[in-house]
Amino acid sequence: MKKRIVLYNPEAAKGRGLSHAKRLEKYAEAEYSYVDITKIKDLFAYLNSAPGDAEVIMTGGDGTLNFAANALYKKELSRPLYYFPAGTGNDFINDLNKKPDCEPFPINEYFRGLPKVKLEDEERYFINAYAYGLDGYCCEESDRLKALGKEKAYTLIAAEGVLFKYRPRGARITVDGEERYYKKVWMAPVMFGSFFGGGVNLAPSQDRKNPEHKVTSVVIHDISRIGALLLFLKITSGKGEKYPKYLDYRVGRHVVVEYDEPTPAQIDGETRLNVKHAEIFAEEG
């Protein structure tokens, strides 16, 4: 009988990572074994030492993908690694035009050519987006609610942030040496995929397979709270590029983001607090 080793993230799918991973069993009759990926110290060594007759399938969301990408980047696996989406945002599979619970598919190729973000005390590759501002605030607030045993939809957190809670900051953003200053920045994501925030098609022209590995800097700026709320509703459907007065799109290989004061940020959905400066580098080659 076919063997399947399933690497699951217990925190994925709002804490239902294991039960979601077991949905795999509807796709194929096999001998399944489940391993908590957060307890694997060296993912590369684990994958290369797993039995050769077994399929290895990773489940989880964008955060799990980020963990795997940083563990495996620039390393040659001896086997295909398959992916079964089990997250809440699922921006990666949205970008690939796939659906949650789709059949597992190989993802080795997507761990190549990734951009890197450098913060004050950290360097990390990302697979979807690095985002400053409102999106970082939403991740921070979601984490806070989760710690209290509560849940709230990302869209509701974002709407509350826009209307009442989040305060835009000034920021200086430089793309390939061209510097621009914005007085009132709501959000400043740097996109490698086209989706972020759990299904928002913010950068529809960004192609993660572009041969130069370029990223798209998007700055949402200088608009009122009500205007920002209406704009975000339009952005969700991939229409942001029609509003150049409030959305500044620039494509490049090196992006520097400098906020006037500490601001929450996120890397593939993982929160970083009190960040003032970040540099994003496209992969060479």
Domain stops at, among 63, 89, 111:
111
Residues 26 and 160 grouped into a single domain: no
Residues 131 and 36 grouped into a single domain: no
Residues 22 and 35 grouped into a single domain: yes
Residue 90, Cα to own-chain centre: how many angstroms?
A: 8
Residues 95 and 120 grouped into a single domain: no
The pLDDT of residue 262 is 93
Q: Which contiguous run of DSSP H or E holds residue 132? A: strand 129-133
Residues 135 and 74 grouped into a single domain: no
The CATH number of the domain where 269 resides is what? 2.60.200.40
Residues 73 and 160 grouped into a single domain: no
Residues 205 and 77 grouped into a single domain: no
Domain stops at, among 111, 142, 161:
111
The pLDDT of residue 219 is 97
Count CB neighbours of 200 within 10 A.
24
The CATH number of the domain where 88 resides is what? 3.40.50.10330
Q: Which domain holds residue 22?
A: 3-111
Whole-number Å distance between alpha carbons of 161 and 168: 10
What type of residue is 117? Answer: V
Residues 155 and 95 grouped into a single domain: no
Number of domains in the chain: 2
Residues 27 and 93 grouped into a single domain: yes
The pLDDT of residue 240 is 84
The pTM of the whole model exceeds 0.85: yes
The pLDDT of residue 101 is 79
Domain stops at, among 78, 111, 144:
111
**pLDDT mean values, one per 10 residues, the chain (285 residues):** 92 84 90 95 95 93 93 91 87 91 92 94 94 89 85 84 93 98 96 88 94 96 94 83 93 97 92 94 85
Tracing tokens 């459907």 back to the chain, one arrives at 237
The pLDDT of residue 152 is 83
The pLDDT of residue 285 is 59
Alpha helix positions (H), 22-178: 43-49, 62-72, 91-95, 134-147, 154-160
Residues 105 and 130 grouped into a single domain: no
